[in-house]
Structure 1
């Protein structure tokens, strides 16, 4: 999507809708047939295993056409499993979001969901992973919070550099608070829409946290202070521009709430700044003395399930230890790993005192990781920079920052950070990034702004998307399991064999019991309404009548209206 399409004057420029399908299963998604009415472009095809495809449904702009009748359906078969799914492009007029996409997975027992198309040329995405043997996991809704623990048998022997996880950029900036008073705004400073607890629920496991003490200029500076997360342009500047986000105590409480509810996860907290700022920034930074450092460390010690005294090198070190050992730590409650960038602390605190490994507090250099920050404004440049980085040979954990870095003028006066993330940038990951991933070329951390958000300013839990959650599960389950150096055991997604020989026949089996594999087969409407036990014939967005002029994939064109042969008796719109 070109950024100019976010401008109101271009709102009617194009009727193109993109539908991205991501296949992280060992089965091909075979396109069996399509039909469409009043689409000026209708481009669909089969999606091979381990790939994605961006399909096109362009609503006609012809004068005299009734957009309410515009519909199209694409039918898919999942290999030879006997399971199917349907994608429908339709409309909901009048509405703020007049174009809709329905993913109907009832043919595989996984329910249906209606999506509002966020903006012209902004893709709607479906991610499917798992297999017929293992059971399927889809992006229609989030699964259990402890997704890592749910695939522990698959990833437990892998080091962190062989595991993929979502991450969030400037994780504490889920709101703008008033602790710092500058000219910065939500549009150019806020980077997330969810607090830490809900970021964790969306699957994020690596967090970019920037913490400062905010000192009150009056009545006394500078022993009157509190700890806040912040996002500013330069923490050492005389008068930096930026704002405060979540209070750091609230971040700690959010993490502890999540880990209490979801045992067995590995969570990485990466801390930066660690320096003071006046509430009306001026006169440069307040470097932490021992008092502030000790208070900050005390707050870190409030984080539950830390992992202390882990060697920083060797086979059992932070970089090479299997993640299963972290997941089993603290009585199987999991592990929160804390890494500090202490560059500013060293001016007042001895280097030997900068970390407290016994308490599970480490220096950033204790884990060999690479920061894949493109520092690019344009979404296309961001994508290409990330792809080039993860395809390069490497041995460290790679934090791939799939996010744009607009200049100050752009994010202040033209496009907000939210619109840049939600509209052009985050959706690009699935149709541009995924096809470039392979069992030997992949990011470890996929860091984004506004994680989980599909629509502008819509952040209720039932409005979020599980695309990144499902992508991370799928990359670990399917793609990395195809690399025998990473996963020497037979993939859990492949069918079991009846014997031990190479010519042994496959045997059918019921899907394995796994909390990731849901038996839910309901319906989620675009307004968030959920029906858990819908009538079997209810199909979201399915036209009862195929209009004269409907075009089928075999070239047939209807000359008159006919009943839809796939119509079972009921369709619905909300």
Structure 2
């Protein structure tokens, strides 16, 4: 979150080109009070989640005062800010610098508030020397002192150069629990120049037809030792402008990528988990030992057959799905079905009668 005060009054989210310049270009957004209300609502409705807030800027947006004078907060303003952050429920209180947060296991945070949810607050703003930059007794920590964080933003205007730059940086940030395991935020969206942004609009650029190549480039470069902690992008799942109802009308590319990373690829990193994903086959014994476990033994080597079932979101495993079963597809498209081939000026095709789904039995993979 990039947070500022406005003319010394309330705190707001903001996005500007340079928060300490004489005339910052950009705008403010939601109030901090509104953001905190949303966080508290989420943790009350979704217990067991961990929210990490990395707070930047932390200056004043008083345009009547030149940069270097009125931009920076005094101790009273900083304390007022921390007091407002204290209205966030389920903060992680009582942590120290003994082990960086990115090196701690998730249950360190999960066990803090008796399963109610946890909010980890880290500050990384423009506070001057002598101004308190944290309040650990309230669960507010100075981010750079407590967590190693890699937040690379290639700032490329087109998909091809963005993918190349992000992949190159990601591959260079190889996961090694002994030497390198930063909390890695990967920025997978184009950053247009001011003229392009004003001509096309940020929402149009966020759903460029070439964007799927970002996912292809990303996933082909990932491995059990190379993967991001957070994938950040604009307009998650939108396919067409102004056509995005959550969740049934959104594209599933990023959701599938995230699920695949968590369940399959990341789980192969022994520093993350010693248990292997059930889709992984057992390694075959060497040819000379396939008949027995060891010379002179009569015990045959066990090798699991390929897994062709379904693992549902709640953990249920169906090892043998029913014949002609296709997850996410229906045999009959019902009267009133709306297709996603519409435009900003109207809906897509609407069926006037029940029709057989011609793709029901098609092999899609």
Q: Return the TM-score normalized by structure 1.
A: 0.49
1:326 matched to 2:109: yes
CA deviations on 1:108-166 (whole Å, 9 max, x unpaired) are xxxxxxxxxxxxxxxxxxxxxxxxxxxxxxxxxxxxxxxxxxxxxxxxxxxxxxxxxxx
Contact 1:227 1:247 in 2 (8 A): yes
Contact 2:159 2:214 in 1 (8 A): no
1:242 matched to 2:26: yes
For 1:373 and 1:487, the matched residues in 2 are separated by 29
Pairing of 1:338-357 with structure 2 (within 5 A):
338-342=121-125, 344-347=126-129, 349-350=130-131, 353-357=132-136
Q: 2:196 aligns with which of 410, 413, 417?
A: 410
* Residue 322 of structure 1, CA deviation: 0.9
Contact 2:237 2:251 in 1 (8 A): yes
Name 1:428's counterpart in structure 2: 213
Q: 2:304 aligns with which of 503, 506, 513?
A: 506
Contact 1:239 1:282 in 2 (8 A): no
CA deviations on 1:140-193 (whole Å, 9 max, x unpaired) are xxxxxxxxxxxxxxxxxxxxxxxxxxxxxxxxxxxxxxxxxxxxxxxxxxxxxx
Structure 1 residues 468, 304: CA separation in 2 closer, same or farther (over 3 Å shift)?
Answer: farther
Contact 2:12 2:28 in 1 (8 A): yes
Contact 1:403 1:425 in 2 (8 A): no
Name 1:526's counterpart in structure 2: 339
* Residue 467 of structure 1, CA deviation: 2.9
Name 1:213's counterpart in structure 2: 5
Name 1:456's counterpart in structure 2: 241
* Residue 541 of structure 1, CA deviation: 6.9
Q: Give me the CA root mean square deviation.
A: 3.3
Contact 1:404 1:425 in 2 (8 A): no
Contact 1:341 1:364 in 2 (8 A): yes
* Residue 376 of structure 1, CA deviation: 2.1
Structure 1 residues 243, 540: CA separation in 2 closer, same or farther (over 3 Å shift)?
Answer: farther
Structure 1 residues 282, 455: CA separation in 2 closer, same or farther (over 3 Å shift)?
Answer: farther
1:293 matched to 2:91: no
1:539 matched to 2:322: no
Q: Secondary structure at the match of 1:272?
A: strand
CA deviations on 1:493-547 (whole Å, 9 max, x unpaired) are 34799xx988225378986675266987667743599xxxx98x841678xxxxx
Unaligned runs of 5+ in 2: 175-179, 284-292, 294-298, 318-326, 341-346
Q: Secondary structure at the match of 1:330?
A: coil
Q: Secondary structure at the match of 1:270?
A: strand
Name 2:152's counterpart in structure 1: 372
Contact 1:309 1:358 in 2 (8 A): yes
* Residue 387 of structure 1, CA deviation: 0.6
Q: Secondary structure at the match of 2:6?
A: strand
Q: 2:15 aligns with which of 206, 210, 231?
A: 231
Structure 1 residues 431, 253: CA separation in 2 closer, same or farther (over 3 Å shift)?
Answer: same
CA deviations on 1:417-459 (whole Å, 9 max, x unpaired) are 2222211564232222211211122222211122332222334
Name 1:560's counterpart in structure 2: none
* Residue 321 of structure 1, CA deviation: 1.3
Structure 1 residues 482, 392: CA separation in 2 closer, same or farther (over 3 Å shift)?
Answer: same
CA deviations on 1:287-322 (whole Å, 9 max, x unpaired) are 2223322222122112222112223233xx412211
Q: Secondary structure at the match of 1:433?
A: helix
Contact 2:72 2:128 in 1 (8 A): no
For 2:32 and 2:118, the matched residues in 1 are separated by 20
1:259 matched to 2:43: yes
* Residue 274 of structure 1, CA deviation: 0.7
For 1:416 and 1:541, the matched residues in 2 are separated by 36
Q: 1:515 aligns with which of 306, 314, 324?
A: 314
The number of equivalent residue pairs is 313
Q: Secondary structure at the match of 1:381?
A: helix
For 1:526 and 1:331, the matched residues in 2 are separated by 45
Contact 1:426 1:448 in 2 (8 A): no
Name 1:551's counterpart in structure 2: none
CA deviations on 1:260-307 (whole Å, 9 max, x unpaired) are 1212122211111111113x6664453222332222212211222211
Considering fraction of residues, name the structure with more strand.
1
For structure 1, which segment, 332-341 or 510-519, has the greater mean C-alpha deviation from structure 2 after superposition?
510-519
Contact 1:377 1:405 in 2 (8 A): yes
CA deviations on 1:87-121 (whole Å, 9 max, x unpaired) are xxxxxxxxxxxxxxxxxxxxxxxxxxxxxxxxxxx
Structure 1 residues 313, 382: CA separation in 2 closer, same or farther (over 3 Å shift)?
Answer: farther
Name 2:274's counterpart in structure 1: 488
Unaligned runs of 5+ in 1: 1-208, 216-221, 543-565, 568-574
Structure 1 residues 540, 269: CA separation in 2 closer, same or farther (over 3 Å shift)?
Answer: farther
